[in-house]
Amino acid sequence: MARSARNLDLRVGGAADALDRFEAAWNRVAEGRAAPQLEVLTFRDLPLLLKTLTPARWALMEALREAPAASIYELAKRLGRDYKNVHTDVTCLSALGLIDKDNGALSIPWDVVRTEFRVGAG
């Protein structure tokens, strides 16, 4: 059986957004329908998202998507970056669930990471 694609939605919003998603899922289940299987990472605002997903961190994720790394050292060498900085980035991205760290090996668990920005949406 083929594994289904894992998609992660990055969003900008407050607690109300998460509560709206919860309420919608609750109502679907109450109506006898299946709850949607959403995997969402929400940032409080756009500056926090951009501070967290810097160009260097995004490049790190792209490199891991192309080929997993056996270690942070291997990844730092492949990227031509300082080990300490790569370690800091891996720690942050791993804590957010954007990368997997299994016995030191690093990989991307997502097939698609997508985001949608809505200007003036409230």
| Structural domain includes residue 122 | no
| Structural domain includes residue 12 | yes
| Structural domain includes residue 94 | yes
Q: What local confidence, expressed as pLDDT, does residue 36 receive?
A: 60
Q: How far is residue 117 from each of residues 18, 45, 46, 59, measured CA to CA in Å?
A: 16, 11, 9, 21
Q: What local confidence, expressed as pLDDT, does residue 72 receive?
A: 96
Block means of pLDDT (10 residues each) for the chain, 122 residues, are 72 72 70 73 88 95 95 96 97 94 92 77 52
| Structural domain includes residue 120 | no
Q: What local confidence, expressed as pLDDT, does residue 33 receive?
A: 79
Number of domains comprising the chain: 1
